[in-house]
Chains A and B, each alone.
Chain A
Amino acid sequence: MLTRGVRFLNTAFAVAVAGTAVLPASGIRTAVPEHPDDKTIVHVLNRIGFGPAPGEVDWIRRVGLARYLDQQLEPERIVDSGVASRLSTLRTLQQSSRALAQGYFVPAMIERRRAKSVDVPAPGAAMDARPAPERATMMQEREVLAELAEQKILRAAYSERQLQEVMVDFWFNHFNVFAGKGATRIYLTEYERDAIRPNALGRFRTLLGAIAESPAMLFYLDNWESAAPEGSRPDDRRRIRPRRARPADAAQRVRGLNENYARELMELHTVGVDGGYTQHDVQEVARAFSGWTIAAPRQGGAFRFEPRMHDDGEKVVLGHRIRAGGGRSDGEQVLDILAAHPATARFVATKLVRRFVSDAPPAPLVERASAVYRETGGNIRDVVRAILTSPEFFAPDAYRAKVKTPFEFVVSAVRATASDAQNALPLVRATRELGMPLYYCQPPTGYADRADAWVNTGALLNRMNFAVALTTGDVRGVASSTGGAAPGVDAITRDVLADDVSAVTRSTVARATGPAQGIALLLGSPEFQRK
Chain B
Amino acid sequence: MISRRIFLKNGGLALVSLGFAPAFVARAVASANARGQTLITIFQRGAVDGLNMIVPFAERDYYSSRPTLAIARPGSGADAALDLDGFFGFHPRLAPLAPYFAAGQLAVVHACGSPDGTRSHFDAQDYMETATPGVKSTSDGWLNRYLHARDHQAATPFRAVALAPQLPRALQGSEPALAIGQISDFGIRAAAGSRTTQSAFEDQYAAAASSVLHTTGREAFEAVRMLKAANPQQYMPANGAEYPRSAFGEALRQIAQLVKSDVGLEVAFAESGNWDHHANQGAGTGQLAGRLDDLARSIAALVTDLGDRMHDVVILTMSEFGRAVVENGSRGTDHGHGNAMMVLGGGVRGGHVYGRWPGLRPEQRYEGRDLAVTTDFRSVFTEVVRGHLGLTDTSSVFPSFSAGHPLGLF
Contacts and interface: CB of A to CB of B under 8 A. Distances in A.
B289 A123 contact: yes
Interface in A255-301: 260, 263-264, 267-268, 273
A455 B213 contact: yes
A428 to B, nearest CB: 14
Does more than half of chain B's interface fall in helix, strand or loop, or is it mixed?
Answer: loop
A243 B208 contact: no
A488 interface: no
Contact of B220 (A435, A437, A457, A504): A457
A492 B154 CA distance: 41
Interface residues of A, number: 74
Nearest to B282: A120
Contact of A461 (B119, B126, B188, B294): B188
B328 interface: yes
A511 interface: yes
Contacts of B139: 443, 445, 448
Contacts of B109: none
Nearest to B200: A508
The A contact surface, by secondary structure, is loop
Contact of B280 (A117, A458, A472, A530): A117
Contacts of A242: 326, 328-329, 334
A264 B280 contact: no
A181 B332 CA distance: 22
Contact of B217 (A445, A448, A460): A460
B204 A243 contact: no
B290 A472 contact: no
Interface in B152-200: 157, 165-167, 169, 174, 176-180, 186-191, 193, 196-197, 200
Contacts of A445: 137, 139
Which of A126, A182, A264 has the most chain B CB atoms closer than 10 A to its own CB? A126
Contacts of A128: 246-247, 273-274
Interface in A412-471: 432-433, 435, 437, 442-445, 448, 451-452, 455-458, 460-461, 464-465, 468-469
Interface stretch (A15-23, A139-147, A244-252): A244-252
B180 to A, nearest CB: 6
Contacts of A520: 190, 197
B235 interface: no
Interface string A486-504: 0000000000000000111
Contacts of A246: 119, 278, 334-335
A2 interface: no
30 contacts: A117-B330, A123-B285, A127-B246, A127-B274, A127-B291, A128-B246, A128-B273, A181-B123, A238-B368, A243-B329, A245-B328, A245-B334, A246-B278, A247-B118, A254-B367, A267-B137, A443-B137, A448-B139, A451-B212, A456-B176, A460-B213, A461-B187, A468-B190, A502-B208, A504-B204, A508-B201, A511-B200, A521-B200, A526-B210, A526-B213
Given A456-B178, A469-B189, A513-B196, 7 more contacts: A221-B136, A243-B328, A245-B369, A458-B180, A503-B207, A504-B206, A526-B205
